Amino acid sequence: MYYKGIADKKDMVEIKCRIIPKPTSGTRPVYRKKSDNMNEPVLKGNSTGNVQYICGNCGSVLVHNIAQGEISVDIIFQCPNCNAYNEVEYH
């Protein structure tokens, strides 16, 4: 699944996030959408990135167009569609 507002890239890498329980308040930063537009990711990178992170529960695009490794493991993304808490997995 690609973010609908940006042209597809042949080399786009899609990484599925790991679902975690809701973090205790104040322990980890949680990024959420500010707008009601569900077709936009929580975070959009610059045009040189080729990675997008998707929700581990519903597959929605959470982060689009970033370089792999740019996100800290301490950041959590809350899915705007299913409200699941997603952590970036590193291999």
Asked if 81 contacts 63 with a C-beta cutoff of 8 angstroms, the reply is: no
Residue 5 confidence class, pLDDT cut points 50, 70, 90: very low
Q: How many helices (H) and strands (E) does the chain have?
A: 0, 8
Residue 47 confidence class, pLDDT cut points 50, 70, 90: low
Residue 87 confidence class, pLDDT cut points 50, 70, 90: very high
Give every CB contact of residue 53 below 8 A, 6+ residues apart in sequence.
14, 15, 16, 17, 61, 62, 63, 71, 77, 86, 88
Summary mean pLDDT of the chain: 82
Domain extents in the chain: 13-87
Tens digits of residue pLDDT in 16-28: 999 999 999 988 8
Asked if 1 contacts 64 with a C-beta cutoff of 8 angstroms, the reply is: no
Q: Which helix (H) or strand (E) holds 60?
A: none
- The residue with greater pLDDT, 90 or 44, is 44
